[in-house]
Amino acid sequence: MDTSSVTAISAEPYPFEFFPAKCALLIIDMQRDFLEPGGFGEMLGNDVSQLRRTIGPNQALLAAWRAAGLQVIHTREGHRPDLADLPPEKKVRGKSEKSIGDPGPMGRILIRGEAGHDIIPELYPEPGEPVIDKPGKGAFFATDLHAILQNRGITQLVVTGVTTEVCVNTTVREANDRGYNCLVPSDCVGSYFPDFQEWGLKMIKAQGGIFGWVTDSAAILPALA
């Protein structure tokens, strides 16, 4: 494709001006512990099927994005094995029987290097695609994401992944404050809670697009052809 072209992608609250050469696909935390049956998310009583419906649409979008030669960045939420970057309050909040750093169904929970912390095989990063390891919910906090985007001339983000109201929303808000325009395809983001999926997206596009734009992957795919 001609990456210098500009396309209007149908979106809410109004069409999104897509500059392919300046737009990265940012896939948030599609990790085994959040998405796979038997993982940490399900162990906490969550319905992982609410997240798993995003895998197919993300695969299609990622394949088209790669075929168009555009930039892809992945994130993972997790901590150092020595827990030095884990706020003590994050460790104990929720009072669950098992928490971050404890042995879980797929290795130590949300610890870098463990199987459950890694990205699901369906969306596994290819060589050359940066993977941002983040200790918080937002992808900009305590990471080099902003520097990587600036060095690559990126001004726009298509943000996908999980969960809609937590790490996706936090990252979109952080990006907005740093001057990036964000487009969120609703079928490529998921929440364990249907209400939060709906309201998490409404909060992004309200007030004339206070944090960004919302669309679906079917509206983006033709712009990548």
With respect to ligand TIU, which residue has the nearer C-beta, 162 or 201?
Answer: 162
Supply the minimum distance, in Å, between the C-beta of residue 134 and ligand TIU. Answer: 9
**177 is known as an active-site residue:** no
Half-sphere exposure of 17 (CA within 13 A, CB side): 5
H or E stretch including 90? helix 88-92
Q: Which is catalytic among the residues 22, 118, 134, 182?
A: 134
Burial (CB < 10 A; 0-12, 13-18, 19+), residue 211, is: buried
**Within 129-148, which residues bind ligand TIU (CB under 6 A)?**
137
- 188 carries an active-site annotation: no
Residue from 22, 24, 29, 158 touching ligand TIU (CB under 6 A): that is: 29
Q: How far apart are CA 212 and CA 96, in angstroms?
A: 34
The answer to whether 29 is a known catalytic residue is yes
Closest listed residue to residue 188, CA positions, set 145, 222, 219? 219
Round to whole Å and give the CA distance between 150 and 22.
10
Q: Which of 11, 61, 162, 184 binds ligand TIU (CB under 6 A)?
A: 162
Per-residue binding letters, 47-86, with ligand TIU (x by CB under 6 A): ------------------------------x---------
Please, what is the minimum distance in Å from the beta carbon of residue 113 to ligand TIU? 18
- Whether residue 16 contacts residue 220, with contact meaning beta carbons closer than 8 Å, is answered with no
Q: Which of 25, 72, 106, 166 binds ligand TIU (CB under 6 A)?
A: 166
Name the active-site residue from 167, 182, 188, 205.
167
Distances (CA, A) of 191 to 46, 63, 99, 160, 169: 10, 23, 20, 12, 11
Q: Nearer to ligand TIU by C-beta: 61 or 166? A: 166
Assess 163 for contact with ligand TIU (CB under 6 A). yes
Cα–Cα distance, 46 to 33 (Å, whole number): 11
Which residues form the catalytic set?
A: 29, 134, 167
Binding site for ligand TIU (CB under 6 A): 29, 77, 137, 162-163, 166-167
